[in-house]
């Protein structure tokens, strides 16, 4: 039971980090109707800046710089590439982001090389005990920070003028433009917010018990993609629920892999994608996604 509780806590914590990344996918899709396959590279940019700068300016300024750097990079991609593209089809724009991802990932991989970069976080390898249940302090901090950020975003999305404009844009861009909503600003801000969230997620993906940031860190971000898809790509609530499902599934499958040896190794890495496929077979739009209706 202790082992199960530890796995469950770890799964919820990692799920909250995946939810941050999935929320980035959702925000961009709602604002610009583009599936951003360059999101993993934006995450890697944020993490790389934190790892590079913490030794020179301190951890907290480096964290702010990493979030700002990832936000600026995301805004640049939206302003210089997505907005300038003459492709009207959003599927083509999604393919464009794959090209952007390849370029960014190649350059970042070249810079990181074979090293594992420490993030300089203040929590170190401290472990918190709840009776017989133990969990790294970084996992609890990740859960609290992710919860605060997601809660703040949901409140802003519901009660601020920016949130109202984004919701109007997501519902009907043409009507929103006629009502005075500046779609360009909404899209630019959405990409920037998604980039900043990705940088925070990069921090908690690479601190203890993970050894640090390396060139494969961007691949970890892809585990959040099933979270966004199974929750519903146009649903902020779906991103949160999807992230928790993926995190708990991965933790439990990895933790009990020994008892399921007949299914082979690496079950924890495969399980999120299996869950995504099963959910999509039942609900093609995801758990909370909007089903498109066509009148014939």
- DSSP of 181-248: --HHHHHHHHHHHHHHHHHHHHHHHHSTTS--B-TTHHHHHTTHHHHHHHH-TT-HHHHHHHHHHHHH
**What is the arithmetic mean of pLDDT over 88-107?**
89
Q: What is the pLDDT of residue 296?
A: 46
Domain coverage including residue 95: 15-221
Q: What is the pLDDT of residue 292?
A: 60
**What is the arithmetic mean of pLDDT over 51-65?**
95
Q: What is the pLDDT of residue 286?
A: 84
**What is the arithmetic mean of pLDDT over 54-75?**
96
**Percent residues over pLDDT 70 in the chain:** 96
96 in any annotated domain: yes
Structure confidence by residue, pLDDT tens digits, 260-296: 766 667 777 888 888 888 888 888 888 887 766 444 4
Q: Is the pLDDT of residue 188 over 80?
A: yes
205 in any annotated domain: yes
- Specify the number of domains making up the chain: 1
Quick one: pLDDT band at residue 167, thresholds 50, 70, 90?
confident
7 in any annotated domain: no
> Global pTM?
0.92
Measured distance CA(163)–CA(170) in Å, rounded: 10
Q: Is the pLDDT of residue 237 over 70?
A: yes
**What is the arithmetic mean of pLDDT over 186-214?**
93
Q: What is the pLDDT of residue 90?
A: 81
Measured distance CA(83)–CA(26) in Å, rounded: 18
Q: What is the pLDDT of residue 163?
A: 87
Q: What is the pLDDT of residue 174?
A: 82
**What is the arithmetic mean of pLDDT over 49-72?**
96
227 in any annotated domain: no
Measured distance CA(25)–CA(35) in Å, rounded: 7
DSSP at 79: I
Segment of 180-189, 217-226, 252-261 carrying the highest mean pLDDT = 180-189
57 in any annotated domain: yes
Mean pLDDT lowest among 8-22, 196-210, 218-232, 238-252: 218-232
37 in any annotated domain: yes
**What is the arithmetic mean of pLDDT over 119-146?**
91
Spatial CA neighbour of 66 closest among 233, 205, 237, 182: 205
187 in any annotated domain: yes
183 in any annotated domain: yes
């Amino acid at each position: 039971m202790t082992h199960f509780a530890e796995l469950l806590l770890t799964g919820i914590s990692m799920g909250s980090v995946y939810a941050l990344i999935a929320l980035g996918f959702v925000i961009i899709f709602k604002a610009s109707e583009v599936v951003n396959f360059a999101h993993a590279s934006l995450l890697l940019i944020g993490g790389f800046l934190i790892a590079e700068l913490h030794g020179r300016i301190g951890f907290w300024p480096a964290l702010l710089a990493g979030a700002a750097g990832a936000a600026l990079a995301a805004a640049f991609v939206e302003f210089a590439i997505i907005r300038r593209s003459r492709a009207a089809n959003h599927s083509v724009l999604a393919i464009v982001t794959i090209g952007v991802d390849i370029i960014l990932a190649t350059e970042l991989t070249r810079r990181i090389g074979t090293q594992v970069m420490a993030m300089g976080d203040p929590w170190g390898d401290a472990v918190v005990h709840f009776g017989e249940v133990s969990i790294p302090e970084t996992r609890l901090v990740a859960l609290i920070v992710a919860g605060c950020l997601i809660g703040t975003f949901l409140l802003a999305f519901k009660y601020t003028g920016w949130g109202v404009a984004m919701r109007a844009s997501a519902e009907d861009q043409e009507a929103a433009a006629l009502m005075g909503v500046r779609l360009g600003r909404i899209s630019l801000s959405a990409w920037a917010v998604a980039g900043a969230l990705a940088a925070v997620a990069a921090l908690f993906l690479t601190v203890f018990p993970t050894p640090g940031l390396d060139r494969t860190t961007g691949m970890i971000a892809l585990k959040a993609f099933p979270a966004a898809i199974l929750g519903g790509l146009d649903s902020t609530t779906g991103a949160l629920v999807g992230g928790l499902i993926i995190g708990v599934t991965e933790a439990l499958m990895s933790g009990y892999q020994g008892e399921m040896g007949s299914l082979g190794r690496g079950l924890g890495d495969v399980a999120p994608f299996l869950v995504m496929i099963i959910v999509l077979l039942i609900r093609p739009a995801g758990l909370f996604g909007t089903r498109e209706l066509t009148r014939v």
